[in-house]
Amino acid sequence: MAGAVRKKKVYPLSMRLPEADIAIIDRAARKRGRSRTDFVREAAVRAAEEVVMENTVIRMSPEGFKHFLDVISAPPAPIPEMVDVFRRKAPWEE
């Protein structure tokens, strides 16, 4: 079936949480304008991605590693927009 869109398979996930946990999750979800399910899914996926990234080995060639070290060792280049922000007076200073 060429051109057919495959529907993503979804899996149910059930948890038992104390009332206080549900209350804080619901409060945060409302502040983001999200449903509880969307909020919890997004938070869980973000946490999972962090763990995976923390435990992922990055491999590079010796030349690539030298270039990486050169780049992070170089003096920082000013960002004109940030320089402008720091030169402005704060609203409470005016």
In a domain, 9, yes or no: no
> For residue 2, is pLDDT > 80?
no
Return the residue matching tokens 């590079």. Answer: 60
Q: Is the pTM of this model over 0.85?
A: no
Count: domains in the chain: 1
- Average pLDDT rounded to a whole number, residues 68-90: 92
In a domain, 5, yes or no: no
In a domain, 60, yes or no: yes
Quote the domain boundaries for residue 63.
Answer: 19-93
In a domain, 4, yes or no: no
Q: Which of 56, 28, 55, 53 is nearest to 42 (CA)?
A: 28
In a domain, 56, yes or no: yes
Looking at residue 3, its pLDDT comes to: 63
Q: What is the pLDDT of residues 27-69, one digit of tens each?
A: 999 999 999 999 999 999 999 999 999 999 999 999 999 999 9
